[in-house]
Amino acid sequence: MINQQNFKKINEEFSCENCGKKVPLSEKTCRNHCPYCLYSKHVDKLPGDRANPCRGLLKPIGYHFHSKKGLMIDFKCQRCGEKTRNIALLEDGIQGDDYDQILALTPRK
């Protein structure tokens, strides 16, 4: 289990390396992935540390529901193959995730 004290909060705008759109700050939490195409970048070993040398694109491959965290998006790195997940950001006052894009993914059972 990851110690919450190791988390580094980095909430900054970025340009999506997959679709090219400008991704705004999140209203309440740190933005992990593009809200338009859902792609992310493999940059962290621990959330916010930017210590992962891979830097590959994380392709959204599915979704599932976590009993405590809610809707989660599953990713697979296109460079190293590692699988990861992140909370879907559906209710953000600035720009929430595209719910239709999430539902177009394969649900994990």
Task: Specify the pairing of strand 70-77 against strand 83-87.
Answer: antiparallel
**Contacts of range 30-34, beta carbons closer than 8 Å, 24 or more positions apart:** 31/89, 32/86, 32/87, 32/89, 33/58, 33/60, 33/73, 33/75, 33/86, 33/97
Q: Which residues are 15's β-sheet partners? A: 22
Spans of all domains in the chain: 18-107
Write the pLDDT tens digit of every residue in 36-74: 999 999 998 887 788 899 999 999 999 999 999 999 999
Give the pLDDT of residue 108. 82
Q: Dump the DSSP string for 31-52.
A: --B-TTT--EE---SSTT----
Contacts of 12 (CB under 8 A, 6+ apart): 25, 31
Write the pLDDT tens digit of every residue in 85-94: 999 999 888 8
Tokens for 76, please give them.
Answer: 């697979």
